[in-house]
Chain A
């Protein structure tokens, strides 16, 4: 190997003697020097930041308007806050109370609340005792005012305001990060804790810097500098001398190829090490995974360099090598864009988001806000609502109410109005009506999920959980025509009219037959998750980091809370919950899977889950087992050990390996048939036996024209032409150590976008291997 190592080493020396390299070095040092003064400060979150914090503005306005107009509420917490509002807000609230529209912007309401943080004259201990206070607020309330510094005092004021108006505010971390530059504060602060801040830096900021600096500028610069290496080597006085030495031609070329990567390597090492040190020293983010960017960037460069080498060998001209490589880069870019367009407009919207199995019929909602039903005779998904890539609508996950009926809803939302202040009608789809949607009861405003609980239908909104009787829902849709049904429909449709009705709607109070499940004054805050037991008589809610258990009452009263448990970790962590028998499963991001006794909510087991996996869905699948869908698109099974009990009597569970297909979109369990429906690869479905996960049947729908184009043209093109863009994007995954990124869709829903690391790595590796083979054969067989 000595001769080849000598060639590689010589290439490094050649690179170091390049003026362009030193110019690049200086540019890198300038970039690093400009980033070095960046720092951060961590403080308690107090200030309200416009629409980001005021998640439900309509409810805020309604609460304040109602409190300001109703003298009976003047001594309540919200009443005191309403009285403390500045003049312009008070006028706006008066206008709302009178039935008019609010004129002030969300930011103005936020400003008004921020004024309240400075002047706490509105606070009254007695009034706030009846509010649902978080543990943090209770602790702060016990501290004498004199012992609180300004930061903690403002934090307490914010928590008091949040307690006074539940369901209005988005959940924010206890601490906020604010960036500084050379000791000066940036105008905007991030209302995230350190963990989320690290996530943002790793998943967004660093990948952007790396992508632009390494993925584009340095690679292009590298191609410019190294394009002459092969033509230079092919000069007679150089090549003949090299070939007269006892070296293999192929190895000589490969050594030159590796040596050619030296330029990019030397630049990348400096930049990445510099970023690593800046992030570590200035932001306390010592992320060793950042160093993975070095081999990834060199790998990315080698894709382009393999083309440059072939062009350089063929034409012996650096200019042509640069031209051909640039054209190749353009082709990669265009194919990447076409692939992205097909992902965004063809396959993305068609991805199954949730399924409902009613008898033999499978109905699914899609990511493009569509609702589809599988028609066996035509082997196609029949659209009930079409999927649309840029839809602002939200189709609620379909829920089976009986073997012939499914309910869902379609909410019109807008970017400025997430979750919609306006309400939507429940839609009933039944076999008798050929699965055509029939409007039924009006849903409570901002409903985001439906659940079936025995004879009741639960509607989860951004702040509340309401219930109605299924028979009423069916009756309103015309499914029940008997006298009782008419009566229920009439009762259900009987809303609260007039001014009060308007305010009720804004408050999220259901006017049409829904009653709140929660005790008065309680709201469900995000991140939220709800699950109903198989009997429908127990209800489990995860709100922020609180785990609550409710039982169905005998009468129409709100459900009674029977147990509560405070989950550890940051309250803003998203997660999923599932119930199976007497076990409740909770899985949250970056936390181990936790198992609780469903009666007492006492934790009894924890199972480690890799930090790179985010839980996206969980289902109880019988026999005390759970199926967990994670962000890598794979299903994992959590099941009791053989005897299910440890020697000390405690239950013992195991997290088993992956089961079922890859690229899973959604799972649902059909208890009646003991089958697990696993939607994968956009809209295919595997139907697995819940016992042994053997494939019982599957759905492989016929594809439409564009889907065929995607499968048979765009897909192979993306396979053949290396997806360098995707490889660059995957830096986010590598740096953050996550398998997916969470973002908000236009409809306001939180979506998980999986990083597909394997495909670009595979296609790029294959491409490099093929190009090197061609290069070696060409170089090895040609006369010079």
Chain B
């Protein structure tokens, strides 16, 4: 099979790619800008997540990478080859969002068919099929007609066919769509295993938690533009610091408010606040902004110095969802403003 690239060159290189669709109607030709000059890179061994709301241009970008559509301008390259060339495609494994395999196939015959499309020999296909069917949990049901398969089983088969020729780059479009929690977990494990094996994975998903868990880098796409890209930590760090949340037991609300007033004078950098409505029963919830462990220690010392007990303490970091919503939301507001 194809060897894993050893050079440091990016596996996926998208340089200022734009795609404009012209839609003809009796009223005239309407132009839709699906991609507006996108640039990104994914290095070898990375799990790269592509995030964005519906209509952001994620699928168009994947089509450009697969060579299914040609960019209006800009360049896309895979393994240093222009996207869409046979050489580039021979090293890609692709799992479409909705896999359609002819109903006359069984899982094994479908793998045989897609293996042959990837120019594999019969022996190679048989060997890989056994491994992959085991991997995706379809062993034992590989000779059943596909019409008996559930959506989740179809998705597992899709993953197997994407891996049949041991590709260096895996393009997964909503890989866990339709899978139950166990299936999702298994797919995640497969992705992690492939990543560990040095494969590059380009993941398009709308399940942010999933992306957050498996992706080393993400790009957030909205309205045909990259709104942010980098590691999850990078994205979160750009926007907010961590917050500390304490549930403490003051005598009453007045005591809690007094504590806040006094600490804001003595330690304004901690930005302590009291949330009377969000407090659990019998406790009083305090918030503080923390930059490092020292800030946390300072807050704990202050509370304890006032003679009250700390029922619970939690460090809250901003999630990818927060970042995503913020980036997409700002963009949306800007878009509507313009």
Contact = CB atoms under 8 A, between A and B. Distances in A.
Interface hub of B69, B117, B161, B171 (most chain A Cβ within 10 A): B117
Contacts of B241: none
Interface string A742-784: 0000000000000000000000000000000000000000011
Interface magnitude class on chain A:
20 to 34
Nearest to B114: A245
B86 A246 contact: yes
Interface centre among A235, A236, A245, A784 (most CB of B within 10 A): A245
Interface string B66-94: 11111000000000000000110110101
Nearest to B97: A237
Contacts of A520: none
Interface in A293-342: none
Given A243-B66, A244-B89, A246-B86, A237 B100 contact: yes
Interface residues on B, range: 20 to 34
Interface string A217-248: 00000000000000010011111111111111
A244 B84 CA distance: 8
Contacts of A246: 86-87, 89-90, 117-119
A241 B98 contact: no
A240 B66 contact: yes
Contact of B21 (A16, A242, A783): A783
Contact of B113 (A6, A243, A244, A248): A6
B183 interface: no
A650 B174 CA distance: 90
Interface in A71-85: none
Interface string A711-729: 0000000000000000000
Contacts of B94: 240-241, 244
A236 B70 contact: no
A115 B65 CA distance: 91
Given A237-B98, A237-B100, A783 B68 contact: yes
A715 B248 CA distance: 99
Interface in B156-213: 161, 171
Given A236-B98, A237-B99, A13 B117 contact: no
Interface in A467-525: none
B104 A3 contact: no
A240 B84 CA distance: 12
Q: Helix, strand, loop or mixed for chain A's interface? A: helix
Contacts of B98: 236-237
Given A14-B104, A248-B86, A243 B67 contact: yes
B103 interface: yes
A779 to B, nearest CB: 12
A235 B97 CA distance: 12
Interface string A1-31: 0110111001001101100000000000000
A196 B19 CA distance: 71
Contacts of A238: 100-102
Contact of B119 (A3, A232, A236, A244): A3
A247 B117 contact: yes
A17 B103 contact: yes
B152 interface: no
B66 A244 contact: yes
Contacts of A3: 116-119
A14 to B, nearest CB: 5
Contact of B68 (A17, A235, A784): A784
A758 B310 CA distance: 99
Interface of B: 21, 63, 66-70, 86-87, 89-90, 92, 94, 96-105, 109, 113-114, 116-119, 161, 171
Interface of A: 2-3, 5-7, 10, 13-14, 16-17, 232, 235-248, 783-784
20 contacts: A3-B118, A13-B105, A236-B97, A237-B96, A237-B97, A237-B98, A239-B68, A240-B63, A241-B161, A242-B117, A244-B67, A244-B89, A244-B94, A245-B114, A245-B118, A246-B86, A246-B117, A246-B118, A247-B117, A784-B69
Given A236-B98, A246-B87, 8 more contacts: A236-B97, A237-B99, A237-B100, A238-B102, A244-B66, A246-B119, A783-B63, A784-B69
